[in-house]
Amino acid sequence: MRTDTQFSIFLINQPGVMAAVTEALSAAGVNLFALSLSDSGEHGVLRVVTTDADKTRQVLRDTHDRWTETEVLVVPIGNQPGAFGQAAKTISSAGVNTLYAYCTANPDSEQTTAIFKVADAEKAKAALGG
């Protein structure tokens, strides 16, 4: 497990806006490791963890005007029922609040990855054994 940089990119809900951002990252050779998109009516928030935070930051500076970055906890978990819930329970049992979370998954793999935005990453990592 590790901490990593997550980029929150604020998008207008229109066709092609998300594609333009992800195409710009792709053109720079940046691979998306984890992705979440949430909708709030007229706008959306695209959250991504990538293979290269420095390149991502540069692409966003050059191509997009509304984005932020934050530290998230990247937790490998088993790809079976209850694995995500167990990680969430371990974090909460340590007294750490989870602000939001999402998963990546491949149904053909024995492992997946959970992304947690938590109030105290170091305390959460210690609780999870990292």
Q: pLDDT (tens digit, 0 to 9) for every residue of the chain, 130 residues total?
A: 999 999 999 999 999 999 999 999 999 999 999 999 998 888 999 999 999 999 999 999 999 889 999 999 999 999 999 999 999 999 999 999 999 999 987 888 999 999 999 999 999 999 999 8
Tell me the two tokens of residue 122: 């170091």
- The listed CATH number (3.40.50.720, 3.30.2130.10, 3.40.50.10580, 1.10.1740.110) that belongs to domain 2-70: 3.30.2130.10
What pLDDT score was predicted for residue 76?
95
Calpha distance 8→28 (Å, rounded): 18
67 Cβ neighbours under 8 A, 6+ residues apart = 7, 8, 9, 10, 60
Q: What is the pLDDT of residue 40?
A: 83
Domain locations in the chain as residue ranges: 2-70, 71-127
The CATH H-level (homologous superfamily) assignment of domain 71-127 is VC0802-like (3.30.2130.10)
CB burial of 55-89 (b: ≥16 within 10 Å; e: otherwise) equals: ebeebbeebbeebeeeebbbbebebeeebbeebbe
One-letter amino acid at 3 equals T
